[in-house]
Amino acid sequence: MQVKTVTLNKSVFADNDAEAERLRCELKEKGLLLVNVMSSPGAGKTSVLSSLIDRLDAKVGVMEADIDGDLDAQAIAKKASRAVQLHTQGMCHVDATMTRQGMDEMGIEGLDLVFLENVGNLVCPAEYDTGAHLDMTILSVPEGDDKPLKYPLIYEKCSLVLINKIDTLSYFDFDLEKCKEHILFRNPNAKIIEVSAKTGEGMDEVAKYFEDLLETFKK
Amino acid sequence: MQVKTVTLNKSVFADNDAEAERLRCELKEKGLLLVNVMSSPGAGKTSVLSSLIDRLDAKVGVMEADIDGDLDAQAIAKKASRAVQLHTQGMCHVDATMTRQGMDEMGIEGLDLVFLENVGNLVCPAEYDTGAHLDMTILSVPEGDDKPLKYPLIYEKCSLVLINKIDTLSYFDFDLEKCKEHILFRNPNAKIIEVSAKTGEGMDEVAKYFEDLLETFKK
């Protein structure tokens, strides 16, 4: 699949929250679920999405936001029904206007689900509502169990947290129970799933989560 | 050691670059080397600094910038001559005014070298000159060899790049030669050292780099 690269422009709206709410409602009316995926650089956003799309019986589009390059879009294009590379012009996050621009360029007709893979960053992306119906984050074992203590907002905002690279647990000083405590300290309602995009561990549970979500969403 | 936590205020200077240059000159006159350490969350800034300080025959101060928590300052306080925790009030970076405020609160008398451990983030910290004499970054093996392709500015700006967690190379799909190519593509003059803060591999070379730098700097 040929992957288009789109250069995004910053929001012209003073109130990003209002534009995000507008986009969220429009997509809901169309029955299209938008998911905002955030994490540190290298936590495994693209590989988790690749593994997940393989397991989903749904038409999936993926928008890969990066400052430069199109490696992730090239990788995901082999899996998704549709994919687009978004360039943020050096910006550290994606806002609602940028999200809409990405969807317009990719085309959303016939899709059930769109993943926005945000810029790898635990701070800024959490500050901008993209219009997504679900915010999720991926914490990888090599990063350490203390991330929710250091980056509060992203963990407060995300209702789904995947702990990725769980297959490397024995190589790192990572306290899984403490990590879960830290996540739930920021958001007591967060759903936590341990996964390895590499071995596939836990990925069926993630797929089940999204299938249930899609079913509820379409009602 | 009791670790003080300082809440930082944003720069009041319209021109951060000018304030950074002023700070850099003042510190140079005092013979105090300031090093800005940047990386993704969890790449190993604190553990690399701990391992490095053990090897340095110098009076070292460390400023730990985080959005929340004081875990890193508690850890580094066992090693450094002086340490302070800086809270950025949710901000994704540290600017020159914040750096000066941190140094004033920590106290710099008698120190040879101060490390500023910036907020874990590959985007925003690279955009703000802190007044440091050296910018360095740490890329850890689990993050992947493609980071310099995705986050251009930080690699363009840093003249020292440590590839950390080198002891985990066999567990990850990480092409060391390609990674070095990507780093040198962004900055052909970058000094690259492979290290493991955990096993100590490569850390003597890093210590030698800083000892040479201090010698030149004090002249």
The reported pLDDT for the residue numbered B134 is: 98
**Tens digit of pLDDT for each residue in B138-152?**
999 999 999 999 999
The reported pLDDT for the residue numbered B90 is: 87
Residue A1 has pLDDT above 60, yes or no: no
Round to whole Å and give the CA distance between A130 and A19. 9
Length reported for chain B: 219
**Tens digit of pLDDT for each residue in A168-180?**
999 999 999 999 9
Determine the straight-line distance between the first and last CA of chain B, rounded to whole angstroms. 32
**Tens digit of pLDDT for each residue in B16-62?**
999 999 999 999 999 999 999 999 999 999 999 999 999 999 999 99
Length reported for chain A: 219
Among candidates A46, A41, A38, which has minimal Cα distance to A154? Answer: A38
d(CA B209, nearest CA chain A) in Å: 26
Per the CB < 8 A criterion, the answer to whether A115 and A62 are in contact is yes
The reported pLDDT for the residue numbered A57 is: 95
The reported pLDDT for the residue numbered A20 is: 96
Per the CB < 8 A criterion, the answer to whether B44 and B138 are in contact is yes
Which among A123, A146, A168 has CB closest to B171?
A168
Q: Cβ of B122 and A120 within 8 Å?
A: yes
Task: Please compute, for residue A18, the number of CA atoms within 13 A of its CA located in the half-sphere on the CB side.
Answer: 4
The reported pLDDT for the residue numbered A2 is: 64
Which chain B residue lies closest to A186 (C-alpha atoms)? Answer: B68
Per the CB < 8 A criterion, the answer to whether A127 and A156 are in contact is no
Round to whole Å and give the CA distance between A147 and B167. 22
Among candidates B205, B212, B109, B105, which has minimal Cα distance to B163? Answer: B205
Q: Which residues of chain B have pLDDT under 50?
A: none
Chain B residues near residue A127 by CB distance under 8 angstroms: 90
Round to whole Å and give the CA distance between B88 and B200. 31
Among candidates B200, B196, B161, which has minimal Cα distance to B54? Answer: B200
- Residues A74-81: contacts with CB under 8 Å, at least 24 apart: A74/A3, A75/A46, A75/A50, A76/A46, A76/A49, A76/A50, A76/A117, A77/A1, A77/A3, A78/A1, A78/A50, A79/A49, A79/A50, A79/A53, A79/A54, A80/A49, A80/A53, A81/A110, A81/A111
The reported pLDDT for the residue numbered B36 is: 98
Place of tokens 């991330």: A147
The reported pLDDT for the residue numbered A219 is: 79
Which among B119, B150, B153 has CB closest to A69?
B150
Chain A residues near residue B146 by CB distance under 8 angstroms: 69, 71
Helix axis angle, B16-30 to B96-106, nearest 10°: 40
Round to whole Å and give the CA distance between B142 and A75. 18
Q: Give burial (CB, 10 Å; 0-12/13-18/19+) of A156.
A: middle
What values do phi and psi take at B155, rounded to 5?
A: -80, -30
**Tens digit of pLDDT for each residue in A55-77?**
999 999 999 999 888 888 898 99
The reported pLDDT for the residue numbered B89 is: 87
The reported pLDDT for the residue numbered B10 is: 65
- DSSP for B11-78 reads ---S-HHHHHHHHHHHHHHHT-EEEEEEESTTSSHHHHHHHHHHH--S-EEEEEEESS--HHHHHHTT
Which chain B residue lies closest to A87 (C-alpha atoms)? Answer: B150
The reported pLDDT for the residue numbered B149 is: 95
Round to whole Å and give the CA distance between A162 and A202. 9
- Asked which of A85-94, A199-208, B43-52 is least confident by mean pLDDT, the reply is A85-94
Which chain A residue lies closest to B91 (C-alpha atoms)? Answer: A123
Per the CB < 8 A criterion, the answer to whether B97 and B9 are in contact is yes
Chain B residues near residue A124 by CB distance under 8 angstroms: 92, 121, 123-124
Task: Quickly list H helices, A133-202.
Answer: 147-150, 152-157, 176-186
Question: A10 vs B98, which has greater pLDDT?
Answer: B98
d(CA B202, nearest CA chain A) in Å: 19
Residue A122 has pLDDT above 80, yes or no: yes
The reported pLDDT for the residue numbered B6 is: 78
Other C-beta atoms lying within 10 Å of the C-beta of residue A12 = 7
The reported pLDDT for the residue numbered B46 is: 96
Round to whole Å and give the CA distance between B62 and B8. 16
pTM for this prediction = 0.92
Residue A47 has pLDDT above 60, yes or no: yes
- Binned at pLDDT 50, 70 and 90, residue A13 comes out as low
**Tens digit of pLDDT for each residue in A147-157?**
999 999 999 99
- Can you tell me the mean pLDDT for A86-115? 94
What ipTM, to 2 d.p.?
0.88
The reported pLDDT for the residue numbered B137 is: 98
- DSSP for B128-155 reads S--S-SEEEEEEEGGG-TTHHHH-HHHH
